[in-house]
A and B are shown apart, each in its own frame.
Chain A
Amino acid sequence: MLLIDRYAYTNRLKDCSPQVKILLSCGGIAIPRLINNYYFDLFTIVFMAVLVLGIAKIPVRSYFKMLILPLSFLLLSIMTIVVSVNGYNYLYYFQVRNICIGITTESLYKGARLFITVLSSLTSVYFLILTTPIMDIIRALKKLKVPNLLIELMVLIYRSIFIFIEEANNIYLAQTMKFGYENKRIALRSTALLIRNLFTRVFIKHNEMNISLECKLYDGEFKLGD
Chain B
Amino acid sequence: MLKVNNLYYKYEDGTEALNNINLDTSKGKVIGIIGANGSGKSTLFLNIMGILKPNKGSITYNDIPLKYNKAYLREYKKQVNMVFQNPDQQLFYSNIFDDIAFSLRNMGVSEDIIREKVVNALMQVDALDLVDKPIHFLSYGQKKRIAIAGVLVMESSILLLDEPTSGLDPYMTKQMKEIINKISSSKTIIISSHDMDLIYDICDYIYILSKGSIIDEGEKQKVFSEDKLLNEASLTKPWLVRIHEKFNTILFKNEEEFLSYEERKIL
Q: Is B212 an interface residue (CB 8 A)?
A: no
Docked-complex contact A135 and B94, CB < 8 angstroms? yes
The stretch of B95-103, B180-188, B191-199 in contact with A is B95-103
- By DSSP majority rule, is chain B's interface helix, strand, loop, or mixed? helix
Q: Contact partner of A223 among B74, B78, B88, B105, CB < 8 A?
A: B105
Q: Is B253 an interface residue (CB 8 A)?
A: no
CA–CA, A159 and B95, complex, Å:
9
CA–CA, A19 and B114, complex, Å:
25
- By DSSP majority rule, is chain A's interface helix, strand, loop, or mixed? helix
Contacts of B95 in A (CB 8 A): 135
Contacts of A156 in B (CB 8 A): 92
A61 CB to closest chain B CB (Å) equals: 23
Contacts of A215 in B (CB 8 A): 49, 51, 77, 81-82, 90, 151
Q: Contact partner of B111 among A133, A163, A225, CB < 8 A?
A: A225
Number of A residues contacting the other chain (C-beta, 8 Å)? 29
Docked-complex contact B84 and A212, CB < 8 angstroms? yes
Which B24-57 residues have a C-beta within 8 angstroms of A?
46, 49, 51
Docked-complex contact B77 and A217, CB < 8 angstroms? yes
The stretch of B9-17, B132-140, B165-173, B238-246 in contact with A is B132-140
Apart from the given pairs A208-B84, A211-B51, 16 other A-B contacts in the complex at a CB distance below 8 Å: A1-B137, A9-B134, A135-B134, A155-B93, A155-B98, A159-B92, A162-B94, A162-B136, A205-B89, A216-B102, A216-B106, A217-B77, A219-B106, A222-B102, A224-B98, A225-B97
**B residues adjacent to A (C-beta < 8 A):** 46, 49, 51, 74, 77-78, 81-82, 84, 86, 88-95, 97-98, 101-103, 105-107, 111, 114, 134-137, 150-151, 154
**A residues adjacent to B (C-beta < 8 A):** 1, 5, 9, 133-135, 155-156, 158-159, 162-163, 205, 208-209, 211-219, 222-226
